[in-house]
Amino acid sequence: MKPVIAVAPLFDNSKDSYWMLPGYFEVVAACGGIPIMLQMSDAGDAREILGKCNGILLTGGQDVDPALYGEERIPECGETCKPLDEFDKILVDYAIEEDFPLLGVCRGAQFLNVHLGGTLYQDLMTQHAEGHNHVMPKPYDAEWHTVKLSEGSDLREIFGTDEPGVNSRHHQGIKDLSPQLECEAVSDDGIVEAIRLPGKRYIRAVQWHPEHSWKKDARQKGLVQSFISACMAGK
C-alpha cells in the first residue's frame, strides 16, 4: 500500500480558488506516494481527513502575516492569506500532536518557524541587504547558491555532501529561529535554509524548492524520498 500524502493547497486570493503546481504531485508520486490536495477546512474536518493519510506536504504560497510574529507590515511585504495561515496552523498542530510526518517547502518552512515562536525577514533585499538576491530567474531547476549542512544532520547522508547547491525562489526568510527548532542548513549568505523539530519522527522543512529541481538533481528527489519513507514507516 502506498502512503497517502495530504498536500496543502495553494490559494488564489483574486479568484477565490484553490490551485496546485504539478511538481509537488509529480515528485511525491515518483517517490512512491499518492498525493491528494486538501481543501481548507475547520480543524474537525481536517483531522478526519488527515487520519486517512500518512503524511503532510506543506507547500509554498503567500507571505506569512507579520502579525503572527508580532511585527507591523512593511511596504515590501507581499500578499498574505489569512485562511491559509489558519489552515497551515491546523496542519502543523496535527503533525506535532500526532507525531505525523511533515515536510515543509519555502513558505512551509517559514510558517513552521513562525508558528513555533520564530520570526521572519519580511523582505530579504530590504532587511538583509548584505545578502544576495534569493529570487532566481526561470527556470527554477538550476542551482542558485550553496547551503552548509549542519554537522550531524542526516541531510548530509541524503545529499552526499555537506555543501550542496540549491535553487531559490523566496523574498522572505527566517530571521530568528524558533527555540523549538534545530537549524539543518544555512545559505552562503547566512539565511537559515533547513529546519527540523527534534523529538519527532519526521517534521522538517526547507527553504528551497525540490519540486522544481528533482528531475535534474537526484539529491532533491532523495530529500522527498526520505519524507515518503517516514510516511511508509508509520503505516
Q: How confident is the model at residue 187 (pLDDT cuts 50, 70, 90)?
A: very high
Q: What does the pLDDT average to over 182-200?
A: 98
Predicted confidence at residue 150, as pLDDT, reads 97
Q: Is the pLDDT of residue 89 over 80?
A: yes
Name the β-bridge partners of 103: 57, 204
Q: Is the pLDDT of residue 229 over 90?
A: yes
Predicted confidence at residue 138, as pLDDT, reads 95
Residues 202 and 85: their CA atoms lie apart, in Å, by: 21
Q: Is the pLDDT of residue 235 over 70?
A: no
Half-sphere exposure of 154 (CA within 13 A, CB side): 10
Residues 62 and 77: their CA atoms lie apart, in Å, by: 10
pLDDT over 90, % of the chain = 98
**What digits encode the pLDDT tens for the residues 160-177?**
999 999 999 999 999 999
pLDDT over 70, % of the chain = 99
Q: What does the pLDDT average to over 209-232?
A: 98
Q: Map grid coordinates 555543501 to a residue.
A: 163
Predicted confidence at residue 160, as pLDDT, reads 96
Q: How confident is the model at residue 200 (pLDDT cuts 50, 70, 90)?
A: very high
Residues 195 and 206: their CA atoms lie apart, in Å, by: 6
Q: Is the pLDDT of residue 234 over 80?
A: no
Predicted confidence at residue 26, as pLDDT, reads 98
Q: What does the pLDDT average to over 38-61?
A: 97
Q: How confident is the model at residue 141 (pLDDT cuts 50, 70, 90)?
A: very high
Question: Which letter does DSSP use for residue 169 in this model?
Answer: B
Q: Is the pLDDT of residue 185 over 80?
A: yes
Q: What does the pLDDT average to over 120-129?
A: 97
Q: Is CATH 3.30.360.10 correct for 4-233?
A: no
Whole-number Cα distances in Å, 125 to 27, 66, 73, 101, 162: 30, 17, 15, 33, 27
Q: Which residues are catalytic?
A: 106, 209, 211
Helix 22-30 with 218-233: angle, nearest 10 deg: 70
